Amino acid sequence: MEISSSAFNDSKRHFKVLDALRGVAAIVVVFFHVLEVYSGGDHTKQWINHGYLAVDFFFMLSGFVMAHAYDDRWDSMSIKDFFKRRLIRLHPMIIFGMTIGALSFYFGESDYFPKIAETSIWQLLIVLVIGYTLLPLPTSMDIRGWNEMHPLNGPAWSLFLEYIANILHALILRKLPKLILSVFVVIAAMALIQLAVTSPHGDIIGGWSLEPEQLRIGFTRLLFPYMAGMLLRRSITIKSGRNTFLMSSMLLVLFLAIPRIGGTEHLWLNGLYDSLVVIFVFPVIVYLGSLGTLKNSRTEKISTFLGDISYPVYIIHFPFTYVFYAWVTENNIPIGKGFAVGTILVIFTIGLSYMSLKLYDEPVRKWLAAKFMYSQKD
């Protein structure tokens, strides 16, 4: 997930509507995860049923924004400086999220997470230190019971893949002619469709484990949207248009929240929906967002706020969600009460995200940039 450019400015123009869309998608993800516990593991019964596609939207935004921000700067910027920029942008909040995951870990002890009770403090500390590096853990080191590559903060798997995408971008993708990149995008789209329509669950959920099938899902979900975002940026001329924030936000929420398609008898139909949304709908939404201008101060403030909190919300919400899952399952909390408490959890996460941004993330990144970047001008 690409951090909001409004939260840490480079000299190049950023897209305020795209920043806001990232925030909208992040909040949808939190609600999706909070309510996921009531599905009982049945993907057809998930509330905000396609909220998981927000991750694929994040990847597409990242490809678009990375191409815009950096692809005409390689003559004056080294690969080393690029990697330093990415680490400074993303890693402070990764460390913060892992720390929250460690501090809240034992509060999630329950039958829902069977390994917590048998995890020693030393095992927890080892996992925490490795988590700070974002290196993925093998399933043999799982301490929760879900085989996550980051058991202290599950969604960090997408940040791991984001780093992989940034490495590929710097070393290979930026050098590809538009035609070759287009061929790769088509191949990646075909792989995404194949994954989606043949999935035993009828969707593209997955990517969070070092298990071979999970890695296939994760990289398939990464490669098409990231490269498609790059290709989209290369293919359009940036123009200032009307305020597209409301329209593009409504489209995004609609396609993420639409109920399951096909049921259990026709799983492939939902897989087809997933792939078509990622391949055709998300590029349209990103394009609309790139055209958008904010016409009044209220809309601009809302959009800036959503962009600023988007990355912190995404990277810190799940440690609290683990504890919420344990509470719901251990106490048989009904959906009404769970939704009310879950909504409070979402509001709390948004508030904590803004505080962490202003009191921790921005000051730390400013200090790191001053210390490790040779120049603040780009």
DSSP class per residue in 7-42: GS--SS---HHHHHHHHHHHHHHHHHHHHHGGGTT-
Six-digit token string for 263: 């049921």
**Three-state DSSP class for 110?**
strand
* Separation CA 321–CA 205 (nearest Å): 18
Arithmetic mean of pLDDT, 181-204: 97
Arithmetic mean of pLDDT, 336-357: 98
Q: Name 292's Cβ contacts closer than 8 Å, sequence gap at least 6.
A: 15, 16, 17, 18, 241, 242, 243, 244, 245, 248
Listing DSSP states for 287-332 in one string gives HHHHH----SHHHHHHHHHHHHHHHHHHHHHHHHHHHHHHHHHHHT
Six-digit token string for 278: 């990622």
pLDDT at 82: 96
pLDDT at 352: 98
Q: Which of 132, 165, 145, 119 shows the shortest CA–CA distance to 209?
A: 145
Arithmetic mean of pLDDT, 347-363: 98
Global pTM?
Answer: 0.95
pLDDT at 238: 81
Q: Name 312's Cβ contacts closer than 8 Å, sequence gap at least 6.
A: 93, 96, 352, 353, 354, 356, 357, 361
- Looking from the CA of 316 toward its CB, the CA atoms found within 13 Å total 29
Tell how many helices (H) and how many strands (E) occur in the chain. Answer: 13, 0
Write down the mean pLDDT value for the chain: 93
Domain map (residue ranges) of the chain: 5-372
> What pLDDT, in 10s, does the model give residues 240-263?
767 788 999 999 999 999 999 998
Phi-psi category of residue 262: left, alpha or beta, with phi > 0 → left and psi -120 to 50 → alpha = left
> What pLDDT, in 10s, does the model give residues 276-320?
999 999 999 999 999 877 777 888 899 999 999 999 999 999 999
